[in-house]
Structure 1
């Protein structure tokens, strides 16, 4: 039986695409990488993350150097980050049905809390944040250990190829959502456990899993 539903934040719960692009472009000159042309966003969504990074001439080793700049930008413009339509209702419904809700994200905890506060979301039991592009599987394992949970008692909801990889590595099932950062063409070969195209689909999968 499922006890926890774990959500990714950016691209899954929250629409932060425009803030991400603005942050990326505002720091491009400082860190010497290419800016994102908004018209090319859908093309970038179809590329694996390492190919995107190569296309934008971004040295991945610089990630730790710019992450604090990104967090500062996100804090400044957190008011522009909104929950996707229908996601608050999903969270409220899951809580009413007795599920616990957590967030494991690469965004900073304070930004996530601010966005949740502005959207009157108060039913998140735990938020875990990683400063690394990869490595969510380690956070998932830590979460399971801290909460004394079996792998079968949690399900993750995410939007990226790296979310699928992390879940498969950690041994938990994942619901992939189509409205986020990665395109369906990119993730199909990764075979997430479930594909959904609407917030309502998340509830349908959870209920189906617990029958």
Structure 2
């Protein structure tokens, strides 16, 4: 029997909705230097072409200090959130999806205050039903599962949209569909090698995927 409900959509935030990569790289360098990492050499290209674990190893980051570093980075991003721009075309996509009737949510390792401030800046706060923020960068599947359980959502009725390999891995572990986008933190080849359900090169591609997907379930 075909599903008569529109699937709910979960967005990642950094790199998917907000173009935070340039600010993130600058902030990491600044915070890392303050914590005694004077030789940190991280570029946007490093993040787009390498795994998080390899970047941490290359720059000799201590895993014990990582949670504190992340908190400081997020705090600094909040102070600069007014300078963060949305991904080109993403506002139109969000508005279109919500107007069609899709329920939209955000799950992110960024903190909710950063996300809410950004959404308010671009008049998007009323477009999202839920914003779920979690700590840690290696436990996204647990956060997805908690979110689904809390709101009693069925896995087959969820589509996740993210820009990183770890988004694909988390979605697969959680048993939900994943659209990987190439404009964020990981490049096309890295994403493709992890076999997402669909790869979008621009926001409007997501609408095209959903049109085909909905034809199959209705």
1:47 — aligned with what? Answer: 50
Superimposed CA distance per residue, residues 2-43 of structure 1 (whole angstroms, 9 cap, x where no aligned partner): 4311000000001011210121011122223343454xx224
Preserved CA contact (<8 Å) 1:106 1:133: yes
Deviating 4+ runs (over 2 angstroms): 30-38
1:91 — aligned with what? Answer: 94
Preserved CA contact (<8 Å) 1:159 1:179: yes
2:65 counterpart SS class: helix
1:35 — aligned with what? Answer: 40
2:108 — aligned with what? Answer: 105
Whether 1:117 and 2:112 are equivalent positions in the alignment is no
Superposed displacement of residue 109, structure 1: 0.2
Match runs of 1:125-140 below 5 Å: 125-140=129-144
How far, CA to CA, are the matches of 2:171 and 2:80 in structure 1? 30
Superimposed CA distance per residue, residues 33-65 of structure 1 (whole angstroms, 9 cap, x where no aligned partner): 343454xx2244211221111112212332212
Superposed displacement of residue 207, structure 1: 2.0
Q: Please, what is the CA RMSD of the aligned residues? A: 1.4
1:10 counterpart SS class: coil
Superimposed CA distance per residue, residues 66-86 of structure 1 (whole angstroms, 9 cap, x where no aligned partner): 222112101110111111111
Superposed displacement of residue 184, structure 1: 1.7
2:16 — aligned with what? Answer: 12
TM-score, normalised to structure 1, is 0.94
Superposed displacement of residue 204, structure 1: 1.2
How far, CA to CA, are the matches of 1:184 and 1:36 in structure 2? 23
Structure 1 residue ranges without an equivalent (≥5): none
How far, CA to CA, are the matches of 2:162 and 2:195 in structure 1? 13
Whether 1:149 and 2:134 are equivalent positions in the alignment is no
Larger mean CA deviation between 134-143 and 111-120 belongs to 134-143
